[in-house]
Structure 1
């Protein structure tokens, strides 16, 4: 009986959520700018790098832990603190919404950790140089990643910024307090924050981002909780046996409650009935609000459709008017061109006729005139002689 009530409530809530699909669809469609190929590659490679970071830090920390006595609380605590704070810091940097912010902050974090173990406060923290070697290797690997993601001069200027920023904001101890560097990087690159606002991407890209985050939580949270519990137990008066006994007590209490629920169906049925009575006004209120919301959405949709139709009609009128104006202008221009061409043709014909007349004169009259002059000259010479 009570199971049916819960199913009914769940179904109602599902329908309420589905009732807003049209409005939700409008919001989602207005924010479906996809990430660029460079941004997607940047996000993928940065998050893949974190897995390499986790594995190398954990492996090196386990090796360093074996170099100390199990009762050496100080150095064993240092090892645990390095694992906890290094992995929490890099995952906060790498799993940001903006792929570029994740790249820059993760790069700065790896360089800060390298400087901490090579020339900073952690240089002599452990007896061996395993931590220094691992931090340097991880920093070099991330530099290769950045080189493949940032092309040309962008990589060169970004590397210079990362090194300088890490020097200005060094890690002082194993808490690894992270200083976000993305805004400072934008200033160094002379990029406005308004221009750097990133999109969540399309729905599949946003869902993939959420899936990556949930996967990270499921993988890292148990390890981090275990290390923190070990650190607390190591530095408190609680012994390992007491901690184990406490956990067993909690488990026994949970099992007892589960057994009570399974062996008292009448009590649970009565509880479900009481809950149904108490929740009925709420369900009725949700139903009324759902109907109102559906009516409102229907009216909004009609208004939106009317507005779209009106805008389309206005655009069609504007296009038609512009087209008619363009045709009229084209006709006027064509008439002007024809008139100008005819004027030029007439001028060309006139000049051609003139040149033709001159040519005729030169051909027919020039020889006659020349013969006349020569004959006259000859006659003068004979008379003189």
Structure 2
């Protein structure tokens, strides 16, 4: 009995130690993002939110200064909000935190340069476009501060020089703000390796997709609303207004023709005097008018092209966003499923192995110990 009191605790210890081996942690085989990369992602996406607010605030402030009938400038303000926020969304919400920071930095620099150099937009305008330039400069200063805090001093100065040169080489030609990705060029400039495709661990990948879904659901209604406003703003000519204007013009033309027909001598003398006295002024007015009409025509043609493109994009924007979201979810789901299946197979294999060891410990160990004890008892009996 005393012998079994020593054997039972031994068997329990073996059994419990075997059970402890069954604790399996489902750690991801993928490389986690570094603390620096996680910090970079958080700072860049927080900056993107500030960017959206700053652009909307500046655009609304400028719109408040406009006359009611200034549809051209209102259209440009809507285009600024649409393309600035779409461009920053694509730049800031990428899988790679470093790519997000560099592309956001370049995009802000490009926008700042655009407003600083847009003399035509400021020329003889009642709108203080300096508000847009000041907002762009503030956003540029903010992201410079963020980069300065995230990079080492040497990397910061090298990256800043690259961003300024890249922004000048790929400057925005118009308010469409066509974005040129800069991350690979930055890697080459910095002498780095090929762009990393690491998405981090499973929780990090899920968090990334969650952020993208959240920002898409937040921006999509606003951008659709702005596009609808833009189309409505440039489609406000009513048939009734046009007919009224034509009737008024015809009535004025008929009255003037009647006056000319009834006063031929007076009109002849008046024409001669006007030719002598007003011709220089008329010539000057013609020159200025031609210049203004030419400028207005160019702006109107450019604006019509932008509006037409936005009208087409408005039709397909929801399907494009659904497709992009579906691709992100499919990629993440596939990553998660593969990871879970790999770990599940490992868990099954480990469980089978430990179960066999458990059976051996429970059933064969007592028999072996009993055999050994019986043999020792028999030897003692024989010796006695």
Other-structure match for 1:40:
38
Query: Does 2:78 match 1:80?
Result: yes
Other-structure match for 2:169:
168
Other-structure match for 1:232:
231
Other-structure match for 1:93:
91
Query: Does 2:183 match 1:182?
Result: yes
Q: Deviations over 1:317-359 (max 9, x none)?
A: xxxxxxxxxxxxxxxxxxxxxxxxxxxxxxxxxxxxxxxxxxx
Distance 1:232 1:79, change over 3 A: same
Other-structure match for 1:65:
63
Q: Give, in whole Å, the separation in 2 of the partners of 1:210 and 1:30.
A: 19
Distance 1:220 1:120, change over 3 A: same
Other-structure match for 1:323:
none
- Deviation, 1:237, is 4.9
Q: How does 1:268-307 map to 2 (within 5 A)?
A: 301=345, 305=349
Q: Secondary structure at the match of 1:97?
A: coil
Q: Is the 8 A contact 1:121 1:172 kept in 2?
A: no
Q: How does 1:1-385 map to 2 (within 5 A)?
A: 29-31=28-30, 33-120=31-118, 124=122, 127-128=127-128, 129-193=130-194, 196-237=195-236, 301=345, 305=349
Distance 1:123 1:140, change over 3 A: farther
TM-score by structure 2 length?
A: 0.54
Q: Is the 8 A contact 2:40 2:101 kept in 1?
A: yes
Q: Secondary structure at the match of 2:161?
A: helix
Q: Deviations over 1:89-119 (max 9, x none)?
A: 0111000000000000000000000000112
Q: Deviations over 1:259-283 (max 9, x none)?
A: xxxxxxxxxxxxxxxxxxxxxxxxx
Q: Give, in whole Å, the separation in 2 of the partners of 1:109 and 1:122.
A: 22
TM-score by structure 1 length?
A: 0.54
Number of equivalenced pairs: 222
Distance 1:170 1:120, change over 3 A: farther
Q: Give, in whole Å, the separation in 1 of the partners of 2:146 and 2:121.
A: 26
Q: Give, in whole Å, the separation in 2 of the partners of 1:221 and 1:191.
A: 36
Q: Give, in whole Å, the separation in 2 of the partners of 1:102 and 1:60.
A: 24
**Runs of 4+ in structure 1 over 4 Å off:** 120-123
Distance 1:101 1:238, change over 3 A: farther
Q: In terms of Rg, which structure is larger?
A: 1
Q: Which has the higher contact order (CA 8 A, sep 6+)?
A: 2
